[in-house]
Amino acid sequence: MSAGMQAEDITVIGTSPLPGSGIDRDRLPAATAILTAHDLQGTGTADMLHALDSRLAGVSLNAPAGNPY
């Protein structure tokens, strides 16, 4: 960088593993989505997990055999 030039400020925002950290959704360094009850009504699925799986990109469900939870 030549003398007299100034680089612009860069702000880095990290997320906390704790819920309710207070970071605005538009400042998160990740894709986010919101589904309302209205969004879920038309999914045609019998449960919430499969509705989320069918409506949100990046959601992946697996059910290991023998897992009671």
6-33 residue pLDDT tens: 778 777 666 666 666 677 777 777 777 8
Report the C-alpha gap between 28 and 14 in whole angstroms. Answer: 7
The predicted model scores a pTM of 0.42
- Identify the pLDDT of residue 19: 64
Each domain of the chain, given as residue ranges in start order, spans 29-55
Q: Alpha helices of the chain — where are they, by DSSP H?
A: 37-41, 48-55
Q: What is the pLDDT at residue 41?
A: 78
pLDDT of residue 33: 81
Instruction: Give the pLDDT score at 36.
Output: 81
